[in-house]
Amino acid sequence: MTFAETLPSSATTASVLTPKADLFAQRAARLRVLASDHSLGAWLNWLADLAEAQHKALATVPALELHFDGLIDPSRPLLKIDNLQLDQAWQAVYRELTVAMDVSAPEQDANRLSLKGRQCIAHAAGSAAEAPREASDLLVAAALQVVWLAGACQLALPEFTQLEHRDCCPCCGSAPVASIVLAGTGNTGLRYLECGLCATRWNAVRARCTFCADGSVVNYWSIEGGNEAVQAETCDQCHGYIKTFFQSKDLQLDPLGDDLASLALDVLVGEQGFARGAPNPLLIEGDCV
């Protein structure tokens, strides 16, 4: 059977899926499940606490003056850090998260915090080599996620928005953290990429590299005897990889959380010479991979 025979037609395929407002609560619950019997259980439980704090902080984000004029242009993302309102909102959330997570030395200087925010945005877009290095940097990413998700929910892009560029988030221009192949009525087999910052999902065809254009050959890797719901999709042309999660194997999976709980797969494909093309804003460089 070919993909063309099994997939719904593109005319009925939503190009954009807006994240749900309970995403952080769902992620927290998912991380708790993933943490049990996991070698990194303590870390995953800490991330679950963080997701719960993000869920609480989301309720404090004010209405944002955002406007979608019908045009998706990656050079002018709809959510951007030089929007003063967004910049102030994420810094306020950062302060809430540092209290909730009892971080010992939170960044107090507004200018330095602003710089950290910009570095985090660049890392999420895949354009910065520097990954987060300490827990307080993760809270910068976590705070941005809260406000960017609020922004995506408030913008609520139409499902059938035309997308010219499928390699970056239509809302905020970030790189995808992973992809998910959906299951369920009308959706079965559809593949979406999920933004690592605002959690918007956008449609992307299967069996094609996410990072380089047509003609690339992709292969799928998984851990023998491991979680069947995740595969790493590697590209022989650009030597990048992204993880793909299959809802048909596990309806509860959360691409960002499940990515963090499947780092053994990163080690496996890393040993084969492939490099992570999909930055996870909550992954500390050198800590686990």
- Distance of closest approach, residue 236 Cβ to Zn ion, in angstroms: 8
Residue 234 in contact with Zn ion, rule: CB under 5 A: no
- Tokens read off for 130: 């520097």
Identify the residue among 195, 242, 261, 265 touching Zn ion (CB under 5 A): 195
Q: Are 261 and 44 in contact (CB under 8 A)?
A: yes
Q: Are 90 and 147 in contact (CB under 8 A)?
A: yes
Identify the residue among 33, 40, 135, 212 touching Zn ion (CB under 5 A): 212
Residue 83 in contact with Zn ion, rule: CB under 5 A: no
Residue 260 in contact with Zn ion, rule: CB under 5 A: no
Identify the residue among 121, 149, 209, 269 touching Zn ion (CB under 5 A): 209
Calculate ∠ Cα 191-129-173, nearest 5°: 40
**Judged by CB under 5 A, how many residues of this single chain contact Zn ion?**
15
127/248 with CB nearer Zn ion:
127
Secondary structure (3-state) at 100: helix
Q: Are 150 and 228 in contact (CB under 8 A)?
A: no
Interface positions, 153-182, toward Zn ion (CB under 5 A) = 169, 171-172, 174
CA nearest to 154, candidates 220, 282, 61, 92: 61
What number of other Cβ atoms are within 10 A of residue 63's Cβ?
8
56/239 with CB nearer Zn ion:
239
Residue 242 in contact with Zn ion, rule: CB under 5 A: no
Query: Which 8-state DSSP code applies to residue 45?
Result: H
Q: Which residues contribute to the site for Zn ion (CB under 5 A)? A: 169, 171-172, 174, 195, 197-198, 200, 209, 211-212, 216, 235, 237-238
